[in-house]
Every structure is written in structure tokens, then in C-alpha cells.
């Protein structure tokens, strides 16, 4: 590729990076079009340009130098400033455009309206009836009110059936009475609930005539709309600092005999009539729709976090020179070391694979939503299984990749100047929120076991589990030569996933036959079952990557994606670092592959990952701006350490 086609080349950049960019075999803009989709890629460029022109949307100082209060204030300031410009910059009905704008301006550490858009609005869209939508959804979209999703409690997050918050129907007054009867029933964790929101969708166990009817969603006003003071019968606050996400005020909530009108229960699916008659929803888990929405969107979000970390470490690896390969020559860029390439490149391949899987899970979510609106509940189970698996596998592997990217930056990777600590903290939170990963793997496990049962009954499952009915390869994998082409890789992958799923199913059957209860037998098999779920999901990601690459029209882009696909399939299959062959092929394109993510410096917030590569001078500037450097001698030093040392000196002279 002639260098002028590489959109990332700019005057004045560090020559080390320019040298890398000149080697690109493809046009980074065209690869960006594949990674994001051409519309979003173009819009992201336009959004970045629009932000450049509005100084009040820029960071006032690097986020790691801010206290928690300053971070919370900065996020609030930017949300307010954005509200004046947002409709000029993005199409608000496009979630991914809006999310890109938020990440570029506010960053990944959280903001007062995260949950409002991620869950409050989707819960209203999925669970409120038309009249309720007119009352709350329109106001929420206009941001007249800010809401969150309050489900998890101090004592229970995973096991929703045991939520202790109660909503008891009072027929006389046609009201629900909401209560947090115990310490463990306090709502705990909901994002932005501590200080920012004035409304919440509270998930509580519904009780009518002493009958427990399971978790349902209720609209609760938390704070006065004018004064923002906490409403009566409510106690609310922030849960304190966390590993990351400290711009967000995750909160606690106690409800004490709070009365709300009957119509505050979201009634699109389940309904409670005035006389207390209860109408069941058409599918028991429709009340969980907001969680499925977030799970299906988390995959692209985590692909992006991984991309942030890898573009920082790949660029930095081409700036950093350390040691020799040939002692007679200069010190080499650390990217030249095979170990560095093996550390980074498989994760670059995964970032692309995850982004494509994420686009697919969002597409599947939209299809399910439309089919549900037409009254069809059939796709719910498939989507739940798919998103449970993807959510768990992608958040976990993205976390691993981010940590490898951090280690690849050596000591400077541990400084917050690299921003790796925050990216990691935010990434691994995804392993926990929206369903703890090992628990979500079991949800997919249930689905796989059902598919095995149907295969054993002579039926042919369709869709993502169709491969379970294929005749298994009789020979072992040792006979499987990966160089025979991608179809052979996929067959090998299917073979491993199928074998593990059948092994888990047989083991479960054995325990059940031995007289153990279903639950006990299940618990004895969960390690095997989770392995099957993991393999099934990694197979889905690989197949999706393979099919996606076949669709690419630009030959240069297709070729580099095939290199990544080849690496991905081998790495996933053999589960060891890539072959030297793949590493050699990826090496000349390493920087351009990460440039194709088109992450701006503003979005990165990383000194190490700067697009222009001027790392060292900026590390020095960064250090100088530390609060601790504002005084030559810290007041705390004068107070404690200096007297201690003076005293010690005095003592030794005696
Ligand atoms: C699934 C559980 C663990 C178990 O539930 P339980 O009731 O006990 O059910 P089971 O007996 O196990 O199963 C019964 C059957 O029901 C099926 N099932 C279960 N769940 C579902 C479902 N959701 N859909 C369909 N079917 C379901 C199950 O498979 C069984 O079927 P079968 O009998 O085998 O046929 C459950 O209790 C559970 O889900 N627990 C986890 C709790 C959880 O996830 N909590 C989340 C709280 S909210 C939260 O964590 C928020 C976090 C902050 C998010 C920050 C967002 C960051 C941004 C992300 C990007 C989003 C962008 C959005 C952009 C935009 O749109 O603007
Ligand atoms: C950053 C962040 C933001 C959050 N935001 C929100 C929010 O906005 N709204 C909200 O309602 N909640 C929110 N949460 C809460 C989150 O959804 C829960 O923490 C999560 O669902 C996990 O539940 P838990 O904490 O009860 O974990 P636990 O269930 O207590 O998990 C602890 C351990 O027990 C294991 N375990 C539990 N059950 C089983 C089982 N059945 N089988 C096998 N192993 C099991 C798990 O695998 C894990 O290893 C947030 C959490 C975080 C970290």
C-alpha cells in the first residue's frame, strides 16, 4: 500500500510511528469501516471533530489527578454542557453514536446518566404499557427526569427470586406498599442512584393476598423534582469508592412503607387489576428484558475497552526501545521481540472478533424485540442463551487482554499516565454486573443440555446448536491439520465443543441416575457445564468472525482480516500463543491495525498511547502536573516525617 493512503500519517509525529504506518498494507479508514460499520465509523470522525471545536467539552485536567468529588462534578458539568450541544452532534435515536460521544467527552469512568440510558429507558421501553410510556418514557427521553435500575440488594444480586424488597398490594387504596424489611434488603449498587437520579425502576417481590408472585418492576420517585431532596419514606446515599467507575455514584436505597399508585407497576406484560386480580406475563422472564438489553450491548463495549488497551500498548511498543536482538546493532523497539508479539497480537485478533460478535448480538436483540412486539416469544430463550455466554466469555477474555496490554508497557503501564488501571477496572466490572459470569455460563449450560436431549431424541436442533447433531469426528484432534483451511478449523472447533457438551450431559445424567436430586446433580457438573458453555461461545465468536471476513469486499482489508482470523483460530484452537508464522505476518501492520480503531487522544486519555507517539516528553509534563508537585515539601511531610527524621537525627547525636 502506498503510504499516502494511510489516513493516520501526520506531519510532526514521532518518526518511530511514522515508519510503522508506512508499512501498512491496507487503508486504515476502510478497516475502521469494517470494525464499526461504515456509518458509525464516519459518524465517530464527525463527532470527534465537533468535540474538538467546543473547548467546554474538553477535560479540565487528567481524570486520574482528580478526587472522587471532582470526578463526579466534572462528569456532571460535561453532561450539562453536552445537553446544550448534543442534538447538533448526534442522532439521539442512535445508541452507538450517543455512546461514542459520551465516551469521547466524559470517558469510561461513569457519569450521572449512564443507567438512565443503559437500563432505565430500555426497561420502560420493554415493560411499560402505552399509557405509562406516555407518562414517563417521553419525559425520560427529554431528560426531564433521570432514572436508574434498582434491582440488586445488599444480600442478593444473583438469586432474583430471593429479593427481599416487597411490593404488597393494598386493594382498599389501590396502592402498592414498598418495603425494605431487613438490612440485607437494602438496594445496593444501582448506578447513579446515590446522588444523581430522581426516579428508579425498583425490582421488588410482588405480594397480593399474602401470595408471593415473584420479582416485578415498579416506578419509584426518589427525589423531589424541584429541590432534589429525598422523598419521604426513603433513605438513599452513595456506596463509596470502587475499584473503578468512580465518576459514578452507585447507591443504596431503603424503602419504609412507601405507598405508590397501582399504575406505578410496569404493566406491559404482567398486570394487577384494581381488585387485585393478577395476570401473568406471556413469558415468565419478560421482566428481565433490560438486563438482556445491556448484555447484548456489552460485547461491543468490551471489544472497545480491549481496543483502547491494545492501541496504547501497540503504539508504545513501537516507541519503546530496550535491549538488543543483534548486539552489534541499536537497541530494538520492544515490538520486535517474539514474546511481545505473542503477548499482544492474539488479543488484537480477539478485539476484532469480539466487535463482530457484538454487532451480531445487537442485531439479534433488535430482531427479538421486533418479533416480541408482534407477539412472538420464541426467540427469547435463544437470545438469553447467546447473550449470557457472550457476556461472560467476552468480559473475561477482554480483562485478560487488557492486563496483558498493561504488562506489555512495563513499568510505565502501571502509572495512571497509561490509563490502563482504569480501563482494566472498568473492563473487569463487566465480569460481575449484569449477572456474575460463572452464573451466566450456567444459564447457557441449561440451554445446551436441552439441545443435547433433543439430539438424543432424534431431533435436529437448529441455529447456533445445530452442530451438536452433526456426526462427531472419530479421530482425535492430533490428526486435524489447521493449515487445511478455515472450514477445517471450524470443524475442529465444533468437534471440541460438541465433545465437551456431550461429556457434561452424560455426567449430569449419571448423577441423576445415581439418585441425586436434580439440583445436586447439576451442582456436581457445573465445572464441566461451564467448560462446555465457554467452548460453545468461543465457537460462536470464531464462526461469526469467519463469516464476517468472507463478506469483506476490499481485498487489502480482507487479507489483513484473514491474517487475524488465521491467528485467532489457531490461538483459540491450540490455546497457546500464536505460531511464529502468524506473528511475522501481523508485525508490519501492527500499528495500522490499532490505528484503524480511530481512537482519538481525547478518548484514550493515555500518555503512552498518544497517536503522535511523543511519549517521553509528555510523561514528564504529566508528572509535573501532579497535585503532590505543587509544593516542594508536602505539608504532611512537615507534620510527620520531617519531625520523625529530625528527632532520629537528634537521638543519634546524643
Ligand atoms: C438467570 C438468573 C441467574 C436465574 O434466574 P431464575 O429466576 O432463578 O431462573 P432459573 O430457574 O435459573 O431459570 C428459569 C428459566 O428462565 C430462563 N431465564 C432466566 N433469565 C432469563 C432471561 N433474562 N431471559 C429469558 N429467559 C431467562 C432460564 O434460562 C430458565 O429457562 P429454562 O427453564 O431452562 O427453559 C437470574 O436470576 C439473573 O439474571 N441473575 C443475574 C442478576 C443480574 O444480572 N443483575 C443485573 C442487575 S443490573 C446491573 O448489574 C447493572 C449494571 C450496570 C450496567 C452499566 C452499563 C454499562 C454500559 C453497557 C452498554 C450498554 C449500552 C446501552 C446503550 C443504550 O442503549 O443507550
Ligand atoms: C460496577 C457495578 C455496577 C452495578 N450496577 C448495578 C445497577 O445499576 N443496578 C443493579 O441492580 N445492580 C448493579 N450491580 C450489581 C450487580 O448486578 C451484581 O453485583 C451482580 O449481578 C452479581 O451479583 P452478586 O453481587 O449477588 O454476586 P454473588 O451472587 O454474591 O456472587 C458471589 C460468588 O458466588 C457465586 N455464585 C452465586 N450464585 C451462584 C450459583 N447459583 N451457582 C454457582 N455460583 C454462584 C458467583 O459465581 C460468585 O463467584 C452493579 C455491580 C457492579 C460491580
Whether 570 lines ligand 1, by a CB cut-off of 6 Å, is no
**C-alpha distances in Å from residue 5, one per residue of 214, 564, 587, 592:** 59, 21, 19, 11
Q: How many angstroms separate the first and last alpha carbons of the chain?
A: 76
Distance 535 CA to ligand 2 centre (A): 23
Name the closest ligand to CA 395.
Answer: 1
- Separation of CA 123 and ligand 1 centre (Å): 13
Q: Whose CA is nearest to atom 10 of ligand 1?
A: 443
Closest residue by CA, ligand 2 atom 40: 439
pLDDT of residue 4: 42
610-640 confidence digits (pLDDT tens):
999 998 888 878 877 877 778 878 787 788 7
> How close is the Cα of 158 to the center of ligand 2, in Å?
5
* Residue 481: pLDDT band with limits 50, 70, 90: very low
Question: How far is the centre of ligand 2, averaged over its atoms, from the C-alpha of 432 (Å)?
Answer: 5
pLDDT > 60? residue 270 = yes
Q: What is the pLDDT of residue 623?
A: 75
Under the banding of pLDDT at 50, 70 and 90, the label for residue 573 is confident
Any atom of ligand 1 within 6 Å of the Cβ of 518: no
478 exposed, middle or buried (CB, 10 Å; 0-12, 13-18, 19+)?
exposed
Positions marked active-site: 434
Give every CB contact of residue 602 below 8 A, 6+ residues apart in sequence.
48, 51, 52, 58, 59, 104, 105
Distance 423 CA to ligand 1 centre (A): 24
The helix (H) or strand (E) run that includes residue 127 is: helix 121-127
Which residue puts its alpha carbon closest to atom 33 of ligand 1? 446
In this prediction, residue 19 carries a pLDDT of 95
Q: What is the pLDDT of residues 139-196, one digit of tens each?
A: 999 889 999 999 999 999 999 999 999 999 999 999 999 999 999 999 999 999 999 9
CB of 437 sitting under 6 A from ligand 2: no
Confidence of residue 243 (pLDDT cuts 50, 70, 90): very high
pTM recorded for the entire structure: 0.94
CA–centroid distance, 435 to ligand 1, in Å, is 6
Contacts of 309 (CB under 8 A, 6+ apart): 401, 402, 405, 406, 420, 423, 424, 427
CA distance 133 to 648: 71
The answer, yes or no, to whether any atom of ligand 2 lies below 6 A from the CB of 184, is no
Beta bridge partners of 201: 149, 219
Query: Over 80: is that where the pLDDT of 418 sits?
Result: yes
- Residue of 433, 445, 522 with the most ligand 2 atoms within 8 Å of its CB, for mutation: 433
Atom 42 in ligand 2: which residue has the minimum CA distance? 439
Q: Where are the beta strands (DSSP E) in 13-65?
A: none
Ligand 2 pocket member 245 (CB < 6 A): yes
Region of 219 (left: φ > 0; alpha: ψ -120 to 50; beta: rest) is beta
Secondary structure class of 284 (helix, strand, coil)? coil
How far is residue 462's CA from residue 161's CA, in Å, rounded to a whole number?
Answer: 31
Q: Is 128 in the pocket of ligand 1 (CB under 6 A)?
A: no
Interatomic CA distance for residues 566 and 583, integer angstroms: 11
Tell me the pLDDT tens digit for each residue of 65-121: 999 999 999 999 999 999 899 999 998 888 899 999 999 999 999 999 999 999 999
Q: Give the pLDDT band of residue 425 (cuts 50, 70, 90).
A: very high
Binding annotation for FAD: 152, 191
C-alpha cell at 616: 517521553
Query: Whose C-alpha lies nearest to ligand 2, atom 16?
Result: 433
Q: Any idea what DSSP says for residue 576?
A: S
Task: State which of 114, 390, 443 you would mutate to test the pocket of ligand 1, scoring each by most atoms of that ligand within 8 A of its C-beta.
Answer: 443
Which listed ligand is nearest to 150 at the C-alpha? 2
Mean pLDDT, residues 125-135:
96
Cell of 165: 424488597
Q: Is 151 in the pocket of ligand 1 (CB under 6 A)?
A: yes
Residues 249-277, mean pLDDT to the nearest whole number:
97
- Atom 9, ligand 2: which residue's CA is nearest? 190
Q: Is 35 in the pocket of ligand 2 (CB under 6 A)?
A: no
When pLDDT is cut at 50, 70 and 90, the band that residue 485 belongs to is low
Ligand 2 site, residue 441, Cβ cutoff 6 A = no
Amino acid at each position: 500500500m502506498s503510504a499516502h493512503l494511510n489516513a493516520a500519517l501526520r506531519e510532526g509525529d514521532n518518526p518511530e510511528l511514522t515508519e510503522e504506518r508506512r508499512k501498512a498494507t491496507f487503508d486504515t479508514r476502510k478497516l475502521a469501516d469494517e470494525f464499526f460499520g461504515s456509518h458509525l465509523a464516519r459518524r465517530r470522525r464527525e463527532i470527534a471533530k465537533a468535540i474538538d471545536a467546543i473547548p467546554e467539552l474538553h477535560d479540565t485536567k487528567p481524570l486520574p489527578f482528580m478526587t472522587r468529588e471532582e470526578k463526579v462534578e466534572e462528569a456532571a458539568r460535561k453532561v450539562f454542557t453536552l445537553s446544550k450541544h448534543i442534538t447538533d452532534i448526534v442522532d439521539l435515536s442512535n445508541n452507538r453514536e450517543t455512546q461514542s460521544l459520551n465516551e469521547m467527552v466524559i470517558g469510561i469512568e461513569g457519569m450521572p446518566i449512564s443507567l438512565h440510558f443503559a437500563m432505565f429507558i430500555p426497561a420502560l421501553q420493554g415493560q411499560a404499557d402505552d399509557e405509562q410510556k406516555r407518562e414517563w418514557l417521553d419525559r425520560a427521553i427529554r431528560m426531564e427526569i433521570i432514572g436508574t435500575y434498582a434491582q440488586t440488594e445488599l444480600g442478593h444480586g444473583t438469586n432474583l427470586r430471593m429479593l427481599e424488597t416487597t411490593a404488597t398490594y393494598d386493594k382498599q387504596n389501590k396502592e402498592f406498599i414498598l418495603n425494605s424489611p431487613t438490612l440485607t434488603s437494602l438496594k445496593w449498587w444501582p448506578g447513579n442512584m446515590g446522588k444523581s437520579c430522581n426516579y428508579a425502576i425498583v425490582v421488588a417481590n410482588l405480594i397480593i393476598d399474602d401470595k408471593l408472585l415473584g420479582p416485578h418492576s415498579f416506578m419509584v420517585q426518589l427525589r423531589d423534582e424541584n429541590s432534589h431532596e429525598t422523598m419521604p419514606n426513603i433513605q438513599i446515599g452513595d456506596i463509596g469508592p470502587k475499584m473503578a467507575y468512580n465518576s459514578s455514584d452507585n447507591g443504596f436505597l431503603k424503602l419504609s412503607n412507601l405507598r405508590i399508585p397501582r399504575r406505578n407497576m410496569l404493566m406491559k406484560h404482567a398486570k394487577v387489576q384494581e381488585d387485585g386480580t393478577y395476570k401473568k406475563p406471556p413469558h415468565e422472564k419478560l421482566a428481565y428484558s433490560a438486563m438482556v438489553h445491556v448484555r447484548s450491548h456489552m460485547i461491543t463495549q468490551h471489544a472497545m475497552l480491549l481496543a483502547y488497551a491494545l492501541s496504547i500498548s501497540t503504539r508504545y511498543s513501537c516507541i519503546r526501545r530496550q535491549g538488543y536482538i543483534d548486539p552489534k546493532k541499536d537497541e530494538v523497539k520492544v515490538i520486535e521481540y517474539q514474546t511481545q508479539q505473542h503477548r499482544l497480537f492474539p488479543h488484537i485478533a480477539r478485539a476484532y472478533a469480539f466487535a463482530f460478535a457484538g454487532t451480531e448480538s445487537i442485531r439479534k436483540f433488535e430482531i427479538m424485540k421486533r418479533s416480541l412486539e408482534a407477539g412472538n416469544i420464541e426467540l427469547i430463550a435463544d437470545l438469553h442463551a447467546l447473550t449470557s455466554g457472550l457476556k461472560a466469555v467476552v468480559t473475561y477474555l477482554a480483562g485478560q487482554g487488557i492486563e496483558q496490554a498493561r504488562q506489555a508497557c512495563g513499568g510505565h503501564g502501571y502509572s495512571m499516565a497509561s490509563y490502563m488501571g482504569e480501563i482494566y477496572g472498568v473492563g473487569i466490572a463487566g465480569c460481575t454486573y449484569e449477572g456474575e459470569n460463572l452464573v451466566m455460563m450456567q444459564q447457557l449450560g441449561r440451554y445446551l443440555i436441552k439441545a443435547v436431549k433433543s439430539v438424543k431424541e432424534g431431533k435436529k436442533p437448529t441455529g447456533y446448536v445445530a452442530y451438536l447433531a452433526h456426526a462427531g469426528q472419530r479421530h482425535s484432534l492430533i490428526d486435524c491439520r489447521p493449515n487445511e483451511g478455515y472450514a477445517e478449523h471450524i470443524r475442529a472447533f465444533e468437534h471440541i465443543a460438541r465433545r465437551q457438551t456431550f461429556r457434561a450431559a452424560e455426567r449430569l445424567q449419571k448423577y441423576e441416575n445415581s439418585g441425586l436430586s436434580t439440583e445436586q446433580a447439576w451442582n456436581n457438573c457445573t465445572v464441566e457445564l461451564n467448560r462446555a458453555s465457554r467452548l460453545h461461545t468461543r465457537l460462536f465468536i470464531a464462526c461469526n468472525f469467519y463469516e464476517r471476513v468472507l463478506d469483506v469486499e476490499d481485498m487489502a482489508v480482507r487479507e489483513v482480516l484473514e491474517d487475524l482470523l488465521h491467528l485467532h483460530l489457531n490461538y483459540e484452537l491450540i490455546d497457546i500463543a500464536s505460531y511464529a508464522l502468524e506473528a511475522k505476518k501481523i508485525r508490519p501492520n501492527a500499528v495500522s491495525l490499532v490505528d484503524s480503531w480511530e481512537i482519538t487522544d481525547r478518548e484514550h486519555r493515555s500518555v503512552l498511547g498518544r497517536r503522535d507517539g511523543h511519549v517521553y516528553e509528555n510523561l514528564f509534563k504529566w508528572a509535573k502536573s501532579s497535585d503532590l508537585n505543587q509544593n516542594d515539601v508536602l505539608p504532611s511531610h512537615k507534620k510527620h516525617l520531617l519531625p520523625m527524621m529530625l528527632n532520629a537525627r537528634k537521638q543519634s547525636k546524643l
